[in-house]
Structure 1
Amino acid sequence: MGLAHPKYKVAVVQAAPAWLDLDASIKKTIALIEEAADKGAKLIAFPEVFIPGYPWHIWMDSPAWCIGRGFVHLYFDNSLAYDSPQAEALRAAVRKAQLTAVLGLSERDGGSLYIAQWLIGADGETIAKRRKLRPTHAERTVYGEGDGSDLAVHERPDIGRIGALCCWEHLQPLSKYAMYAQNEQVHVAAWPSFSLYDPFAPALGAEVNNAASRVYAVEGSCFVLAPCATVSQAMIDELCDRPDKHALLHAGGGHAAIFGPDGSALAAQLPPDQEGLLIAEIDLGMIGIAKNAADPAGHYSRPDVTRLLLNKKPLNRVEHFSLPVDSAAAALPGEAAVARPDQSI
């Protein structure tokens, strides 16, 4: 008898966010979690910063315009803090649904925002909170960055070894290899939508970026769940205040997908403007077959030729420490003072 490999249904979200509305975002996210559970899914994956939606305004005009239109403060105020009632409502919904959720959110921490993915287990407890290592291009006007601890894969007895990255992190070869080397089995590749600067920027489009998700599946010999948001007409109406801006962003852009470790598509894609869940059954036993041919960080690697240096230490922006107290002044009555190297007694 061979090993028993988990086999279960997964759900991948393709939907427009409740843009710039935190409470409505929570309500929509919970509804999708409940729908996935009703369809028998044990894992649901959400698009990049689905809560409260992607900040498309940063690609549409100047920072002054973004501030003047109110997008900057609205985006900050409607981002999610982990110690908030809204976050607790999400945990409770996941626990009630008894599935694992990989949420996409704009994380508010103090005065800063981060592109984050929150992995919550079926018991409602946090598996991990990760941040995008380096926001892409204009995103750096909104978000801070993560650190090496965010390149992590997590073992779960019910769903296997799971990890996640956002958007163009899938174009970073070393970051991808760091994940492959941790024997990732199920990967969430979160995307915001593929309708920006279409058709004159192919690198931002569905063909290129779905190819990145698909190649990740083959390179890593893992399942890739690639949720992708859509842009609603209401968002277009809010963002495109001049005729020329309608050429920059379009409604739709949803191209969610699910890929197997051999690169095969495991679910039929929805139309780009349609909301819904992609459902597929995955069998982790397929991974052994794929890795038999090419295990990127195992038998198919050449560490004598190329190796990766990975610093997984969390980046603490403030380190607390105490200076040595002057030993002579600190000595208690009746105790001998101990000299520092630069001090004689």
Structure 2
Amino acid sequence: MSQFKVAAVQAAPSFLDVEAGVARAVAFIEQAAQKGARLVVFPETWLPGYPNHIWLGPVAWQMQFVGRYFENSIEAGSAHDQAIAQAAADNNIQVSLGLSERAGGSLYIAQWHYDATGAVIKRRRKLKPTHVERTVFGEGDGSDLVVNDTALGRIGQLSCWEHLQPLSKYAMYAQDEQIHCAAWPNLKLYEGGAYALGHQVNTAASMIYAVEGGCFVIAACALVSKEQQDILCEGDPQKETLCPVGGGYTRIYAPDGQSIGSDLPDTEEGLVMADIDLSMIAYAKAAADPAGHYARPDVTRLMLNSAPQRPVMAFDDTAGLVAEPTPAEPEAPAPNEPAAAE
């Protein structure tokens, strides 16, 4: 299969309401499948919403959101995880879901990739949260820079400003990535005061990724609704200026950099759809394949440590490494099987 339809979600999250958010995610999955998509991509931390509050006020003020954000983040193997897996299976569609992952007492910016049977292809974490994101989220590791073989082709995922990390991008290009799922938050934060956070720079990052990698990029972007603005800004005009309504700039790019998806205004919710043809990749890479014929390994090379990193490793004096106290993340239960208790 080389020709099929893909979709990207552009919508405000159900901020701090994971039950409503999962229900809306299932609805978008169903809608994308009904429109003929074989893959649907969601924005960064769309469940339970990007934590814009960390950019809007002092730490003491932000603390009001800490408990609610933690409780509405998602654990692998939970009923929420199972609901998304079931929706993928019921609709015969692959899903790349951006979410805040809860593991023990920590949170991670995560992307979970489900195949069309509901099985988990990959759970990945953002390697380095950006700026004040580091006050909320932990880090991933080299095992999160991976491109997976799927029924639709070789698919990878990155979040937000990972698309400004040259070495991380190169690690993905080198794995012959064909379709890239790019998860973005809303792109109007500090509008007019921080150009690098705006849509011009960040949509350009997705476009350049497509050209550099010679791949299709599905760049899903959230937006801020009036309801979310009211929760975050509490009627404060200064905060509302920093966090305006809108900011959805979802795009789908071809390997030559063209925007091939349908367009939505930045304040409008819906799906951006595009037909893709993987045979186009050969034409793009005939001109430039940066990890192939266009590389100069005698001059520059990348070293990638893809081993998972754990904070505690158990050793025995005679047997060496015997256990990892931190267990691997559980896979989603197979559809129609009971999920782990919440």
TM-score, normalized by the shorter chain, greater than 0.5 = yes
- Kindly indicate whether the alpha-carbon contact (under 8 Å) linking 2:262 and 2:274 is maintained by their aligned counterparts in 1: no
Q: Secondary structure at the match of 2:228?
A: helix
State the 1:240 CA deviation: 1.2
State how far apart, in whole Å, the 1-side matches of 2:106 and 2:284 are. Answer: 41
Equivalenced residues, count: 318
Map of 2:128 onto structure 1: 134
Residue of 8, 25, 28 corresponding to 1:32: 28
Map of 2:42 onto structure 1: 46
Is 1:145 the counterpart of 2:139 in the alignment? yes
Q: Secondary structure at the match of 2:189?
A: coil
State the 1:324 CA deviation: 3.5
State how far apart, in whole Å, the 1-side matches of 2:305 and 2:179 are. Answer: 23
User: Within 5 Å, which residues of 2 pair with 1:41-80?
Assistant: 41-67=37-63, 70-80=64-74
User: Within 5 Å, which residues of 2 pair with 1:107-122?
Assistant: 107-122=101-116
Map of 2:179 onto structure 1: 186
Q: Secondary structure at the match of 1:190?
A: strand
State the 1:279 CA deviation: 0.8
State the 1:318 CA deviation: 1.5
User: Within 5 Å, which residues of 2 pair with 1:265-284?
Assistant: 265-284=259-278
What does the per-residue CA deviation read over 1:240-269, in whole Å, with 9 as the maximum and x for residues that have no partner?
Answer: 132221221100000000000000110132
What amino acid is the match of 1:60? L
What does the per-residue CA deviation read over 1:31-79, in whole Å, with 9 as the maximum and x for residues that have no partner?
Answer: 0000000001000000000000000100001111011xx2110000000
State how far apart, in whole Å, the 1-side matches of 2:285 and 2:238 are. Answer: 49
Map of 1:337 onto structure 2: none
Map of 1:335 onto structure 2: none
Map of 1:11 onto structure 2: 7
TM-score, normalised via structure 1 length:
0.91
Q: Secondary structure at the match of 1:321?
A: strand
State the 1:239 CA deviation: 1.2
State how far apart, in whole Å, the 2-side matches of 1:82 and 1:9 are. Answer: 28
What amino acid is the match of 2:162? E
Is 1:220 the counterpart of 2:216 in the alignment? no
Map of 2:229 onto structure 1: 236
- Kindly indicate whether the alpha-carbon contact (under 8 Å) linking 2:155 and 2:178 is maintained by their aligned counterparts in 1: yes
State how far apart, in whole Å, the 2-side matches of 1:210 and 1:127 are. Answer: 26
State how far apart, in whole Å, the 1-side matches of 2:12 and 2:190 are. Answer: 18
Q: Secondary structure at the match of 1:227?
A: strand
- Kindly indicate whether the alpha-carbon contact (under 8 Å) linking 2:262 and 2:273 is maintained by their aligned counterparts in 1: no
Q: Secondary structure at the match of 1:287?
A: helix
Residue of 313, 316, 324 corresponding to 1:322: 316
Residue of 275, 299, 307 corresponding to 2:301: 307
Find runs of 4+ consecutive structure 1 residues off by over 2 angstroms.
none
State the 1:122 CA deviation: 0.5
Map of 1:258 onto structure 2: 252
State how far apart, in whole Å, the 2-side matches of 1:165 and 1:267 are. Answer: 19
State how far apart, in whole Å, the 2-side matches of 1:33 and 1:150 are. Answer: 24
What does the per-residue CA deviation read over 1:287-306, in whole Å, with 9 as the maximum and x for residues that have no partner?
Answer: 00100000110000000000
- In structure 1, the gaps of 5 or more residues are 326-345
What amino acid is the match of 1:133? L
TM-score, normalised via structure 2 length:
0.92
What amino acid is the match of 2:44? E
Is 1:200 the counterpart of 2:193 in the alignment? yes
Q: Secondary structure at the match of 2:221?
A: coil
State how far apart, in whole Å, the 2-side matches of 1:206 and 1:303 are. Answer: 34
State how far apart, in whole Å, the 1-side matches of 2:80 and 2:313 are. Answer: 30
Residue of 200, 224, 241 corresponding to 1:247: 241
Q: Secondary structure at the match of 2:312?
A: coil
State the 1:162 CA deviation: 0.2
State how far apart, in whole Å, the 1-side matches of 2:247 and 2:174 are. Answer: 32
What does the per-residue CA deviation read over 1:204-225, in whole Å, with 9 as the maximum and x for residues that have no partner?
Answer: 0001100000000000000000
- Kindly indicate whether the alpha-carbon contact (under 8 Å) linking 2:145 and 2:306 is maintained by their aligned counterparts in 1: yes
State how far apart, in whole Å, the 2-side matches of 1:232 and 1:138 are. Answer: 22
RMSD (CA atoms) = 0.9
State the 1:85 CA deviation: 0.9
State how far apart, in whole Å, the 1-side matches of 2:41 and 2:124 are. Answer: 14
- In structure 2, the gaps of 5 or more residues are 320-342
Is 1:97 the counterpart of 2:96 in the alignment? no
What does the per-residue CA deviation read over 1:98-157, in whole Å, with 9 as the maximum and x for residues that have no partner?
Answer: 11000000000000000000000001100000000000000000000000000000011x
State how far apart, in whole Å, the 2-side matches of 1:243 and 1:258 are. Answer: 34
State how far apart, in whole Å, the 2-side matches of 1:36 and 1:244 are. Answer: 37
